[in-house]
Structure 1
Amino acid sequence: MNKQKSFDKAIETGRLYLVPTPIGNLQDMTFRAIDTLKEAAVIASEDTRNTQKLLNHFQVTTPQISFHEHNYKERIPKLVERLLAGESVAQVSDAGMPSISDPGHELVVACLVAEIPVVALPGATAGVTALIASGMSAEKFTFYGFLNRKKNLQLKELATLQHKRETLIFYESPYRLKATFANMVAVFGEERQGSLCRELTKLHEEYIRGTLGEILSYLLENEIKGECCILVAGFAGELVAETENDWSDWSILEHIEEEMSQNRLNSKEAIKQVAKLRGLKKQEVYKVYHQET
Protein backbone atom coordinates (compact mmCIF):
# COMPACT_ATOMS: atom_id res chain seq x y z
CA MET A 1 0.00 0.00 0.00
CA ASN A 2 1.20 3.48 -0.82
CA LYS A 3 -0.13 6.57 0.98
CA GLN A 4 0.83 9.92 -0.50
CA LYS A 5 0.39 13.34 1.07
CA SER A 6 1.33 15.37 -1.98
CA PHE A 7 2.38 18.57 -0.24
CA ASP A 8 3.77 17.30 3.06
CA LYS A 9 6.63 19.64 4.00
CA ALA A 10 8.59 16.69 5.41
CA ILE A 11 9.04 15.19 1.92
CA GLU A 12 12.71 15.40 0.95
CA THR A 13 12.44 14.24 -2.65
CA GLY A 14 11.25 16.32 -5.55
CA ARG A 15 7.78 15.87 -7.01
CA LEU A 16 6.70 14.68 -10.43
CA TYR A 17 4.08 17.09 -11.77
CA LEU A 18 1.86 15.89 -14.62
CA VAL A 19 1.01 19.10 -16.43
CA PRO A 20 -1.77 19.26 -19.05
CA THR A 21 -1.22 21.50 -22.07
CA PRO A 22 -3.84 23.06 -24.39
CA ILE A 23 -5.35 20.82 -27.08
CA GLY A 24 -5.53 23.78 -29.43
CA ASN A 25 -6.39 27.10 -27.86
CA LEU A 26 -3.49 28.49 -25.81
CA GLN A 27 -5.93 30.37 -23.57
CA ASP A 28 -6.88 27.03 -22.03
CA MET A 29 -3.53 26.90 -20.22
CA THR A 30 -4.14 27.37 -16.49
CA PHE A 31 -2.28 29.79 -14.20
CA ARG A 32 -1.23 26.86 -12.04
CA ALA A 33 0.18 24.94 -15.01
CA ILE A 34 2.27 27.95 -16.06
CA ASP A 35 3.59 28.46 -12.52
CA THR A 36 4.44 24.76 -12.21
CA LEU A 37 6.42 24.80 -15.46
CA LYS A 38 8.31 27.88 -14.27
CA GLU A 39 9.14 26.40 -10.88
CA ALA A 40 10.22 22.92 -12.05
CA ALA A 41 13.93 22.12 -12.39
CA VAL A 42 13.30 20.48 -15.77
CA ILE A 43 10.41 19.80 -18.14
CA ALA A 44 10.16 16.31 -19.64
CA SER A 45 8.52 16.91 -23.03
CA GLU A 46 7.12 14.57 -25.66
CA ASP A 47 8.42 16.93 -28.37
CA THR A 48 10.77 19.66 -27.15
CA ARG A 49 10.34 21.75 -30.31
CA ASN A 50 6.56 21.75 -29.99
CA THR A 51 6.66 22.49 -26.25
CA GLN A 52 9.18 25.30 -26.75
CA LYS A 53 6.55 27.27 -28.66
CA LEU A 54 4.26 26.99 -25.64
CA LEU A 55 7.04 27.96 -23.24
CA ASN A 56 7.98 30.99 -25.34
CA HIS A 57 4.36 32.15 -25.40
CA PHE A 58 4.15 32.12 -21.60
CA GLN A 59 7.74 33.27 -21.04
CA VAL A 60 8.82 30.05 -19.34
CA THR A 61 12.60 29.58 -19.34
CA THR A 62 12.82 26.18 -17.63
CA PRO A 63 15.10 23.77 -19.55
CA GLN A 64 13.61 20.75 -21.32
CA ILE A 65 14.56 17.13 -21.78
CA SER A 66 12.92 14.94 -24.42
CA PHE A 67 10.71 12.14 -23.07
CA HIS A 68 8.77 10.07 -25.59
CA GLU A 69 7.84 6.50 -26.54
CA HIS A 70 11.23 5.85 -28.15
CA ASN A 71 13.50 6.96 -25.30
CA TYR A 72 11.50 6.67 -22.07
CA LYS A 73 13.38 3.56 -20.89
CA GLU A 74 16.71 5.39 -20.85
CA ARG A 75 15.22 8.68 -19.60
CA ILE A 76 13.32 7.31 -16.59
CA PRO A 77 16.35 6.35 -14.45
CA LYS A 78 17.88 9.81 -14.99
CA LEU A 79 14.65 11.60 -14.11
CA VAL A 80 14.10 9.45 -11.02
CA GLU A 81 17.67 10.20 -9.93
CA ARG A 82 17.03 13.93 -10.18
CA LEU A 83 13.75 13.60 -8.29
CA LEU A 84 15.40 11.64 -5.50
CA ALA A 85 18.00 14.40 -5.28
CA GLY A 86 15.24 16.89 -4.50
CA GLU A 87 14.53 18.40 -7.93
CA SER A 88 10.96 18.65 -9.21
CA VAL A 89 10.10 17.50 -12.73
CA ALA A 90 7.16 18.65 -14.86
CA GLN A 91 6.07 16.17 -17.51
CA VAL A 92 4.03 17.27 -20.53
CA SER A 93 2.73 15.73 -23.74
CA ASP A 94 2.17 17.61 -26.99
CA ALA A 95 -1.47 18.29 -26.13
CA GLY A 96 -3.83 17.47 -23.30
CA MET A 97 -3.17 15.22 -20.32
CA PRO A 98 0.01 13.16 -20.05
CA SER A 99 -0.52 9.36 -20.12
CA ILE A 100 -3.84 9.64 -22.02
CA SER A 101 -2.78 8.09 -25.36
CA ASP A 102 0.54 9.85 -24.69
CA PRO A 103 3.79 9.11 -22.80
CA GLY A 104 3.85 9.31 -19.02
CA HIS A 105 2.51 6.14 -17.44
CA GLU A 106 5.86 4.37 -17.12
CA LEU A 107 7.43 7.39 -15.42
CA VAL A 108 4.53 7.56 -12.94
CA VAL A 109 4.98 3.88 -12.07
CA ALA A 110 8.76 4.33 -11.59
CA CYS A 111 8.14 7.28 -9.25
CA LEU A 112 5.61 5.35 -7.18
CA VAL A 113 8.08 2.49 -6.79
CA ALA A 114 10.72 5.00 -5.62
CA GLU A 115 8.13 6.61 -3.27
CA ILE A 116 8.32 9.93 -5.10
CA PRO A 117 5.10 12.00 -4.93
CA VAL A 118 3.19 12.24 -8.21
CA VAL A 119 0.93 15.29 -8.56
CA ALA A 120 -1.56 15.58 -11.43
CA LEU A 121 -2.82 19.03 -12.47
CA PRO A 122 -6.34 19.24 -13.97
CA GLY A 123 -6.71 20.54 -17.48
CA ALA A 124 -7.78 19.97 -21.06
CA THR A 125 -8.37 16.50 -22.50
CA ALA A 126 -9.93 16.02 -25.93
CA GLY A 127 -12.08 12.99 -25.17
CA VAL A 128 -14.10 14.51 -22.33
CA THR A 129 -14.25 17.90 -24.07
CA ALA A 130 -15.85 16.22 -27.10
CA LEU A 131 -18.14 14.08 -24.94
CA ILE A 132 -19.94 16.84 -23.07
CA ALA A 133 -20.86 18.66 -26.31
CA SER A 134 -21.68 15.53 -28.31
CA GLY A 135 -25.28 15.26 -27.17
CA MET A 136 -24.68 11.70 -25.96
CA SER A 137 -24.84 10.49 -22.38
CA ALA A 138 -21.86 11.69 -20.35
CA GLU A 139 -22.92 9.94 -17.14
CA LYS A 140 -21.03 6.76 -18.04
CA PHE A 141 -18.44 6.37 -20.76
CA THR A 142 -15.51 4.26 -21.89
CA PHE A 143 -12.41 5.99 -23.23
CA TYR A 144 -10.77 3.59 -25.69
CA GLY A 145 -8.26 5.84 -27.44
CA PHE A 146 -6.80 4.63 -30.74
CA LEU A 147 -8.11 1.45 -32.35
CA ASN A 148 -5.82 -1.00 -34.11
CA ARG A 149 -4.95 0.10 -37.65
CA LYS A 150 -5.38 -3.38 -39.18
CA LYS A 151 -8.93 -4.05 -40.34
CA ASN A 152 -9.39 -7.54 -38.89
CA LEU A 153 -7.93 -6.59 -35.53
CA GLN A 154 -10.00 -3.40 -35.44
CA LEU A 155 -13.17 -5.37 -36.15
CA LYS A 156 -12.37 -7.69 -33.25
CA GLU A 157 -11.78 -4.73 -30.94
CA LEU A 158 -15.08 -3.15 -31.93
CA ALA A 159 -16.87 -6.48 -31.44
CA THR A 160 -15.79 -6.53 -27.79
CA LEU A 161 -17.40 -3.10 -27.39
CA GLN A 162 -20.57 -3.84 -29.35
CA HIS A 163 -22.83 -4.31 -26.34
CA LYS A 164 -21.32 -1.71 -24.03
CA ARG A 165 -24.10 0.43 -22.57
CA GLU A 166 -21.97 3.52 -22.03
CA THR A 167 -20.81 6.11 -24.59
CA LEU A 168 -17.58 5.09 -26.34
CA ILE A 169 -14.75 7.55 -27.04
CA PHE A 170 -12.05 7.00 -29.67
CA TYR A 171 -9.19 9.00 -31.16
CA GLU A 172 -8.46 8.61 -34.86
CA SER A 173 -6.29 9.98 -37.64
CA PRO A 174 -8.19 11.90 -40.34
CA TYR A 175 -6.57 9.58 -42.90
CA ARG A 176 -8.25 6.50 -41.41
CA LEU A 177 -11.69 7.93 -40.66
CA LYS A 178 -13.50 6.38 -43.64
CA ALA A 179 -12.18 2.89 -42.95
CA THR A 180 -12.87 3.16 -39.23
CA PHE A 181 -16.45 4.37 -39.68
CA ALA A 182 -17.05 1.61 -42.24
CA ASN A 183 -15.95 -0.93 -39.63
CA MET A 184 -18.12 0.72 -36.98
CA VAL A 185 -21.14 0.51 -39.26
CA ALA A 186 -20.37 -3.17 -39.87
CA VAL A 187 -20.20 -3.96 -36.14
CA PHE A 188 -22.52 -1.45 -34.44
CA GLY A 189 -25.00 -0.98 -37.28
CA GLU A 190 -25.65 2.12 -39.36
CA GLU A 191 -28.44 3.39 -37.08
CA ARG A 192 -26.26 3.71 -33.95
CA GLN A 193 -25.81 7.38 -33.02
CA GLY A 194 -22.35 8.87 -33.30
CA SER A 195 -20.42 12.11 -33.35
CA LEU A 196 -17.24 13.10 -35.14
CA CYS A 197 -15.41 16.05 -33.57
CA ARG A 198 -12.40 17.73 -35.12
CA GLU A 199 -10.03 20.58 -34.31
CA LEU A 200 -11.43 20.97 -30.78
CA THR A 201 -10.94 24.44 -29.25
CA LYS A 202 -9.39 25.72 -32.51
CA LEU A 203 -10.78 28.19 -35.05
CA HIS A 204 -12.13 25.42 -37.31
CA GLU A 205 -13.71 23.33 -34.52
CA GLU A 206 -16.50 21.19 -35.96
CA TYR A 207 -19.00 18.60 -34.72
CA ILE A 208 -20.66 16.19 -37.16
CA ARG A 209 -23.55 14.47 -35.34
CA GLY A 210 -25.87 11.78 -36.68
CA THR A 211 -26.09 8.04 -37.18
CA LEU A 212 -22.92 6.14 -37.99
CA GLY A 213 -24.33 5.52 -41.45
CA GLU A 214 -24.98 9.22 -42.03
CA ILE A 215 -21.49 10.17 -40.87
CA LEU A 216 -19.90 7.52 -43.10
CA SER A 217 -21.86 8.82 -46.11
CA TYR A 218 -20.64 12.34 -45.32
CA LEU A 219 -17.03 11.16 -45.09
CA LEU A 220 -17.24 9.39 -48.44
CA GLU A 221 -18.07 12.73 -50.06
CA ASN A 222 -15.96 15.10 -47.96
CA GLU A 223 -12.33 15.26 -46.86
CA ILE A 224 -11.71 15.79 -43.16
CA LYS A 225 -8.55 17.35 -41.76
CA GLY A 226 -7.19 17.94 -38.28
CA GLU A 227 -7.20 16.10 -34.96
CA CYS A 228 -10.31 13.93 -34.64
CA CYS A 229 -12.34 12.37 -31.85
CA ILE A 230 -15.12 9.83 -32.42
CA LEU A 231 -18.00 9.18 -30.03
CA VAL A 232 -20.43 6.29 -30.34
CA ALA A 233 -23.64 5.95 -28.34
CA GLY A 234 -23.93 2.96 -26.03
CA PHE A 235 -25.87 -0.17 -26.98
CA ALA A 236 -29.57 0.33 -26.25
CA GLY A 237 -30.94 -3.02 -27.42
CA GLU A 238 -31.64 -6.25 -25.58
CA LEU A 239 -28.78 -8.64 -25.00
CA VAL A 240 -29.15 -12.37 -25.48
CA ALA A 241 -28.05 -12.74 -21.87
CA GLU A 242 -31.02 -10.64 -20.76
CA THR A 243 -33.63 -12.84 -22.44
CA GLU A 244 -34.92 -16.08 -20.98
CA ASN A 245 -32.27 -18.40 -22.38
CA ASP A 246 -32.89 -18.00 -26.12
CA TRP A 247 -29.97 -20.40 -26.48
CA SER A 248 -31.44 -23.10 -24.22
CA ASP A 249 -32.16 -25.42 -27.15
CA TRP A 250 -28.67 -25.05 -28.63
CA SER A 251 -25.82 -27.43 -28.02
CA ILE A 252 -22.70 -25.90 -26.51
CA LEU A 253 -20.98 -26.11 -29.91
CA GLU A 254 -23.93 -24.39 -31.64
CA HIS A 255 -23.88 -21.69 -28.98
CA ILE A 256 -20.16 -21.04 -29.50
CA GLU A 257 -20.56 -20.87 -33.27
CA GLU A 258 -23.49 -18.45 -32.89
CA GLU A 259 -21.42 -16.15 -30.64
CA MET A 260 -18.57 -16.21 -33.19
CA SER A 261 -20.92 -15.45 -36.08
CA GLN A 262 -23.28 -12.88 -34.57
CA ASN A 263 -20.87 -11.03 -32.26
CA ARG A 264 -17.72 -11.41 -34.37
CA LEU A 265 -15.80 -13.11 -31.59
CA ASN A 266 -12.87 -15.47 -32.03
CA SER A 267 -13.16 -18.98 -30.58
CA LYS A 268 -11.41 -18.06 -27.32
CA GLU A 269 -13.70 -15.07 -26.72
CA ALA A 270 -16.81 -17.09 -27.69
CA ILE A 271 -15.90 -19.94 -25.31
CA LYS A 272 -15.50 -17.45 -22.46
CA GLN A 273 -18.86 -15.82 -23.27
CA VAL A 274 -20.74 -19.14 -23.52
CA ALA A 275 -19.25 -20.33 -20.23
CA LYS A 276 -20.40 -17.10 -18.56
CA LEU A 277 -23.93 -17.28 -19.98
CA ARG A 278 -24.41 -20.95 -19.10
CA GLY A 279 -22.74 -20.77 -15.71
CA LEU A 280 -20.15 -23.36 -16.70
CA LYS A 281 -16.41 -23.56 -16.16
CA LYS A 282 -14.47 -22.24 -19.14
CA GLN A 283 -12.41 -25.45 -19.26
CA GLU A 284 -15.59 -27.52 -19.72
CA VAL A 285 -16.74 -25.44 -22.67
CA TYR A 286 -13.21 -25.48 -24.11
CA LYS A 287 -13.13 -29.30 -24.07
CA VAL A 288 -16.52 -29.57 -25.79
CA TYR A 289 -15.52 -27.18 -28.54
CA HIS A 290 -12.17 -28.79 -29.32
CA GLN A 291 -13.54 -32.34 -29.18
CA GLU A 292 -16.34 -31.61 -31.63
CA THR A 293 -14.49 -29.38 -34.15
Structure 2
Amino acid sequence: MPEGHSIHRLAARHAELFAGEKVQAASPQGRFAEGAALLSGTVLDDTEAYGKHLLHHYAHELTLHVHLGLYGKFADGPGDPPPPVGQVRLRLTSDGSGSRRGGRRAELEPSDDGRWLDLRGPTACELLTPPEVAALRARLGPDPLRADADPARAYTRISRSPTPLAALLLDQSVVAGTGLIFVTEALFRAGLPPLLPGRELTPALWGALWADLVGLMTLAVEVGRIDTVRDAHLPEATGRAPRVDRHGGEVYVYRRPGQPCHVCGAEVRRGVLAGRNLYWCPTCQG
Protein backbone atom coordinates (compact mmCIF):
# COMPACT_ATOMS: atom_id res chain seq x y z
CA MET A 1 0.00 0.00 0.00
CA PRO A 2 1.41 3.45 -0.87
CA GLU A 3 2.59 5.46 2.12
CA GLY A 4 1.54 9.05 2.69
CA HIS A 5 4.28 10.71 0.67
CA SER A 6 3.03 9.00 -2.50
CA ILE A 7 -0.48 10.37 -1.98
CA HIS A 8 0.86 13.89 -1.46
CA ARG A 9 2.82 13.56 -4.70
CA LEU A 10 -0.34 12.41 -6.49
CA ALA A 11 -2.33 15.34 -5.11
CA ALA A 12 0.28 17.76 -6.46
CA ARG A 13 0.40 16.00 -9.81
CA HIS A 14 -3.37 16.02 -10.24
CA ALA A 15 -3.50 19.73 -9.41
CA GLU A 16 -0.88 20.32 -12.11
CA LEU A 17 -2.99 18.37 -14.58
CA PHE A 18 -6.48 19.68 -13.89
CA ALA A 19 -6.77 22.44 -11.26
CA GLY A 20 -8.86 25.26 -12.71
CA GLU A 21 -10.03 23.03 -15.58
CA LYS A 22 -13.48 21.74 -16.42
CA VAL A 23 -13.10 17.96 -16.51
CA GLN A 24 -15.01 15.20 -18.22
CA ALA A 25 -15.39 12.04 -16.17
CA ALA A 26 -16.27 8.49 -17.16
CA SER A 27 -16.20 5.04 -15.60
CA PRO A 28 -15.27 2.54 -18.34
CA GLN A 29 -15.59 -0.25 -15.79
CA GLY A 30 -19.04 1.01 -14.80
CA ARG A 31 -18.65 0.84 -11.02
CA PHE A 32 -18.40 4.63 -10.66
CA ALA A 33 -20.79 5.59 -13.46
CA GLU A 34 -23.18 7.66 -11.30
CA GLY A 35 -20.36 9.55 -9.62
CA ALA A 36 -18.61 10.19 -12.92
CA ALA A 37 -21.82 11.62 -14.36
CA LEU A 38 -22.00 14.11 -11.48
CA LEU A 39 -18.35 15.15 -11.94
CA SER A 40 -18.52 15.61 -15.72
CA GLY A 41 -18.46 19.27 -16.75
CA THR A 42 -17.36 20.40 -13.28
CA VAL A 43 -14.26 22.49 -12.51
CA LEU A 44 -11.60 20.98 -10.24
CA ASP A 45 -10.89 23.66 -7.64
CA ASP A 46 -8.09 21.96 -5.71
CA THR A 47 -6.62 18.70 -4.48
CA GLU A 48 -5.26 17.58 -1.15
CA ALA A 49 -3.84 14.55 0.59
CA TYR A 50 -4.61 13.56 4.15
CA GLY A 51 -2.59 10.55 5.18
CA LYS A 52 -3.31 7.83 2.63
CA HIS A 53 -6.49 9.52 1.40
CA LEU A 54 -6.63 11.63 -1.77
CA LEU A 55 -9.28 14.33 -2.16
CA HIS A 56 -10.28 16.23 -5.31
CA HIS A 57 -12.39 19.26 -4.49
CA TYR A 58 -14.73 20.32 -7.30
CA ALA A 59 -17.12 23.22 -7.71
CA HIS A 60 -20.54 22.96 -6.05
CA GLU A 61 -19.01 21.25 -2.98
CA LEU A 62 -18.35 17.96 -4.73
CA THR A 63 -15.39 16.02 -3.33
CA LEU A 64 -13.92 12.89 -4.90
CA HIS A 65 -12.35 10.62 -2.29
CA VAL A 66 -9.84 7.98 -3.38
CA HIS A 67 -8.06 5.43 -1.21
CA LEU A 68 -5.74 3.30 -3.31
CA GLY A 69 -5.41 0.42 -0.87
CA LEU A 70 -3.13 -2.42 -1.93
CA TYR A 71 -3.91 -2.49 -5.63
CA GLY A 72 -5.03 0.98 -6.70
CA LYS A 73 -2.97 2.85 -9.30
CA PHE A 74 -3.13 6.06 -11.30
CA ALA A 75 -1.81 6.66 -14.79
CA ASP A 76 -1.87 9.93 -16.75
CA GLY A 77 -0.63 11.48 -19.94
CA PRO A 78 -1.01 14.29 -22.48
CA GLY A 79 -3.33 14.39 -25.47
CA ASP A 80 -6.15 11.96 -26.11
CA PRO A 81 -6.47 9.03 -23.69
CA PRO A 82 -5.68 5.53 -24.93
CA PRO A 83 -8.45 2.95 -25.29
CA PRO A 84 -9.32 1.75 -21.77
CA VAL A 85 -7.55 -1.48 -20.87
CA GLY A 86 -8.49 -3.50 -17.81
CA GLN A 87 -10.71 -2.30 -15.00
CA VAL A 88 -10.58 1.50 -15.28
CA ARG A 89 -12.75 2.72 -12.41
CA LEU A 90 -12.45 6.43 -13.28
CA ARG A 91 -11.18 8.36 -16.26
CA LEU A 92 -10.76 12.14 -16.17
CA THR A 93 -10.01 14.19 -19.27
CA SER A 94 -9.63 17.86 -20.09
CA ASP A 95 -9.04 19.69 -23.35
CA GLY A 96 -6.66 22.13 -21.67
CA SER A 97 -8.79 25.16 -22.50
CA GLY A 98 -9.67 26.17 -18.95
CA SER A 99 -8.00 28.85 -16.89
CA ARG A 100 -4.90 27.48 -15.21
CA ARG A 101 -3.98 28.45 -11.69
CA GLY A 102 -0.60 29.67 -10.52
CA GLY A 103 1.20 29.14 -13.81
CA ARG A 104 1.14 25.39 -13.38
CA ARG A 105 0.73 24.68 -17.07
CA ALA A 106 4.46 25.35 -17.58
CA GLU A 107 5.24 22.35 -15.36
CA LEU A 108 3.35 19.94 -17.64
CA GLU A 109 4.38 18.23 -20.81
CA PRO A 110 4.49 20.74 -23.70
CA SER A 111 0.92 20.08 -24.91
CA ASP A 112 -2.25 22.15 -25.09
CA ASP A 113 -4.17 19.26 -26.61
CA GLY A 114 -5.58 18.06 -23.32
CA ARG A 115 -4.61 15.50 -20.73
CA TRP A 116 -6.08 12.38 -19.17
CA LEU A 117 -5.99 10.46 -15.90
CA ASP A 118 -7.01 6.83 -15.24
CA LEU A 119 -7.66 5.15 -11.90
CA ARG A 120 -7.64 1.36 -11.51
CA GLY A 121 -8.27 -0.94 -8.57
CA PRO A 122 -8.81 1.47 -5.65
CA THR A 123 -10.24 0.42 -2.32
CA ALA A 124 -12.41 3.54 -2.36
CA CYS A 125 -13.57 5.82 -5.16
CA GLU A 126 -16.58 7.83 -4.04
CA LEU A 127 -18.14 11.27 -3.85
CA LEU A 128 -18.39 12.84 -0.41
CA THR A 129 -20.48 15.70 0.94
CA PRO A 130 -18.81 18.39 3.09
CA PRO A 131 -20.00 16.72 6.34
CA GLU A 132 -18.60 13.40 5.12
CA VAL A 133 -15.25 15.03 4.30
CA ALA A 134 -15.20 16.52 7.81
CA ALA A 135 -15.96 13.10 9.30
CA LEU A 136 -13.11 11.54 7.30
CA ARG A 137 -10.63 14.11 8.60
CA ALA A 138 -11.94 13.70 12.14
CA ARG A 139 -11.26 9.98 12.22
CA LEU A 140 -7.66 10.36 11.04
CA GLY A 141 -4.69 11.25 13.18
CA PRO A 142 -2.37 14.13 12.34
CA ASP A 143 -0.49 13.84 9.05
CA PRO A 144 3.23 14.75 9.39
CA LEU A 145 3.13 16.22 5.87
CA ARG A 146 0.34 18.70 6.60
CA ALA A 147 0.89 22.18 7.98
CA ASP A 148 -2.24 21.83 10.13
CA ALA A 149 -0.99 18.67 11.90
CA ASP A 150 -1.14 18.66 15.70
CA PRO A 151 1.36 16.10 17.05
CA ALA A 152 0.04 16.65 20.59
CA ARG A 153 -3.22 15.02 19.54
CA ALA A 154 -1.35 11.87 18.55
CA TYR A 155 0.73 11.87 21.74
CA THR A 156 -2.40 12.02 23.87
CA ARG A 157 -3.44 8.67 22.39
CA ILE A 158 0.06 7.18 22.54
CA SER A 159 0.84 8.24 26.11
CA ARG A 160 -2.27 6.53 27.47
CA SER A 161 -1.91 3.24 25.64
CA PRO A 162 -0.19 -0.04 26.57
CA THR A 163 -0.19 -0.98 22.86
CA PRO A 164 3.24 -1.44 21.22
CA LEU A 165 4.53 1.80 19.76
CA ALA A 166 4.90 0.34 16.26
CA ALA A 167 1.23 -0.66 16.21
CA LEU A 168 0.16 2.79 17.37
CA LEU A 169 2.19 4.52 14.67
CA LEU A 170 0.67 2.24 12.03
CA ASP A 171 -2.84 3.07 13.26
CA GLN A 172 -4.11 5.77 10.88
CA SER A 173 -6.37 7.15 13.59
CA VAL A 174 -3.24 7.95 15.62
CA VAL A 175 -0.85 9.14 12.87
CA ALA A 176 -2.05 9.44 9.26
CA GLY A 177 0.16 8.51 6.32
CA THR A 178 2.78 6.41 8.08
CA GLY A 179 3.23 2.88 6.77
CA LEU A 180 5.57 0.06 7.66
CA ILE A 181 8.67 1.59 6.05
CA PHE A 182 8.42 4.96 7.77
CA VAL A 183 7.47 3.41 11.10
CA THR A 184 10.21 0.78 11.28
CA GLU A 185 12.85 3.20 10.02
CA ALA A 186 11.88 6.09 12.28
CA LEU A 187 11.89 3.78 15.32
CA PHE A 188 15.36 2.56 14.38
CA ARG A 189 16.67 6.11 13.96
CA ALA A 190 15.22 6.99 17.37
CA GLY A 191 16.72 3.90 19.02
CA LEU A 192 13.28 2.76 20.18
CA PRO A 193 12.14 -0.88 20.23
CA PRO A 194 8.97 -1.44 18.19
CA LEU A 195 7.29 -3.28 21.07
CA LEU A 196 7.78 -0.43 23.55
CA PRO A 197 4.39 0.31 25.17
CA GLY A 198 3.14 3.67 23.97
CA ARG A 199 2.64 4.94 27.53
CA GLU A 200 6.38 4.61 28.14
CA LEU A 201 7.26 7.10 25.42
CA THR A 202 8.29 10.42 26.98
CA PRO A 203 7.19 13.78 25.56
CA ALA A 204 10.78 14.56 24.56
CA LEU A 205 11.16 11.27 22.68
CA TRP A 206 7.83 11.81 20.97
CA GLY A 207 8.85 15.31 19.90
CA ALA A 208 12.06 13.98 18.33
CA LEU A 209 10.26 11.04 16.69
CA TRP A 210 7.59 13.30 15.19
CA ALA A 211 10.19 15.75 13.87
CA ASP A 212 12.06 12.86 12.24
CA LEU A 213 8.88 11.57 10.60
CA VAL A 214 8.21 15.05 9.23
CA GLY A 215 11.74 15.24 7.81
CA LEU A 216 11.79 11.74 6.33
CA MET A 217 8.35 12.06 4.74
CA THR A 218 9.06 15.54 3.37
CA LEU A 219 12.23 14.25 1.72
CA ALA A 220 10.27 11.33 0.26
CA VAL A 221 7.79 13.74 -1.33
CA GLU A 222 10.66 15.68 -2.87
CA VAL A 223 12.63 12.74 -4.30
CA GLY A 224 9.85 10.19 -4.88
CA ARG A 225 11.33 7.37 -2.78
CA ILE A 226 12.01 6.60 0.88
CA ASP A 227 15.62 7.14 1.99
CA THR A 228 16.29 6.92 5.72
CA VAL A 229 20.02 6.21 6.05
CA ARG A 230 22.17 9.03 7.40
CA ASP A 231 25.16 10.19 5.36
CA ALA A 232 27.68 8.43 7.62
CA HIS A 233 26.08 5.04 6.86
CA LEU A 234 25.56 5.35 3.10
CA PRO A 235 27.40 3.00 0.70
CA GLU A 236 29.62 5.87 -0.42
CA ALA A 237 30.79 6.42 3.15
CA THR A 238 31.14 2.82 4.29
CA GLY A 239 32.08 0.95 1.13
CA ARG A 240 29.18 -1.48 1.43
CA ALA A 241 27.10 -2.51 -1.57
CA PRO A 242 24.02 -0.37 -2.32
CA ARG A 243 20.62 -1.74 -1.50
CA VAL A 244 18.90 -3.75 -4.22
CA ASP A 245 15.15 -3.95 -3.59
CA ARG A 246 12.01 -3.24 -5.56
CA HIS A 247 11.08 -0.55 -3.03
CA GLY A 248 14.29 1.38 -3.74
CA GLY A 249 15.96 3.78 -1.35
CA GLU A 250 18.54 3.20 1.38
CA VAL A 251 17.07 1.93 4.65
CA TYR A 252 18.38 0.60 7.96
CA VAL A 253 16.14 -2.37 8.83
CA TYR A 254 13.08 -2.55 6.57
CA ARG A 255 13.12 -5.85 4.61
CA ARG A 256 16.67 -6.55 5.82
CA PRO A 257 16.19 -9.53 8.20
CA GLY A 258 19.34 -11.57 8.74
CA GLN A 259 21.57 -8.85 7.31
CA PRO A 260 24.04 -6.83 9.39
CA CYS A 261 22.95 -3.55 10.89
CA HIS A 262 24.57 -0.63 9.08
CA VAL A 263 25.48 0.92 12.45
CA CYS A 264 26.52 -1.87 14.82
CA GLY A 265 26.77 -4.99 12.64
CA ALA A 266 24.22 -7.01 14.63
CA GLU A 267 21.80 -9.17 12.69
CA VAL A 268 18.57 -7.39 11.84
CA ARG A 269 15.54 -9.18 13.29
CA ARG A 270 12.06 -9.77 11.94
CA GLY A 271 8.89 -10.40 13.90
CA VAL A 272 5.13 -10.18 13.43
CA LEU A 273 2.79 -7.72 15.09
CA ALA A 274 -0.93 -7.80 14.31
CA GLY A 275 -0.24 -9.62 11.06
CA ARG A 276 2.43 -7.15 9.92
CA ASN A 277 6.16 -7.79 9.65
CA LEU A 278 8.39 -5.80 11.96
CA TYR A 279 12.11 -5.19 11.48
CA TRP A 280 14.55 -3.93 14.11
CA CYS A 281 18.11 -4.12 15.38
CA PRO A 282 18.30 -5.82 18.79
CA THR A 283 21.39 -3.79 19.72
CA CYS A 284 20.59 -0.30 18.44
CA GLN A 285 16.99 -0.60 19.61
CA GLY A 286 17.55 -2.71 22.66
Q: TM-score range by the shorter chain?
A: under 0.3
Which protein is richer in strand relative to its size? 2
**Could you tell me the TM-score, scaled by structure 1's length?**
0.24
Which protein is richer in helix relative to its size? 1
